[in-house]
Amino acid sequence: MARNAFDHIIRQHADGMAQAILGAYHDVERGQRGSTEEHLTVTQFKVQQEQQRLNEIYEAQATAVAELEHLEADKAQAEKETRQVEAKLNHLHIN
């Protein structure tokens, strides 16, 4: 009987301590069994976040460069067409 009461007190104390400890980490989630994900240090996490941000910037830059090239091609085509129209107008005024 005394042993059971002692075990019960120890269990309650352990449960209370576990709740106190887990309460301090309310934003921590458990991983999934069999997951190969690794825990990262704060520095590793920040580096990973900055690398992701840098990749997004590179992607945005590549998109902007492609758009610029497209606009430059459109501009060149418009300038060519303008010269052709001007040449036709000049030819009409001469005749």
The domains of the chain are located at 40-95
Query: Percent of the chain, pLDDT > 70?
Result: 60
Residue 84 has pLDDT above 80, yes or no: yes
pLDDT score, position 92: 85
- Report pLDDT digits (tens) over 57-74: 999 999 999 999 999 999
pLDDT score, position 67: 95
Q: How far apart (Å, rounded) are the C-alpha atoms in residues 37 and 81? A: 58
Reduced 3-state DSSP string for the chain:
CHHHHHHHHHHHHHHHHHHHHHHHCCCCCCCCCCCCCCCCCHHHHHHHHHHHHHHHHHHHHHHHHHHHHHHHHHHHHHHHHHHHHHHHHHHHHHC
Residue 40 has pLDDT above 60, yes or no: yes
What is the pTM for the complete model shown? Answer: 0.49
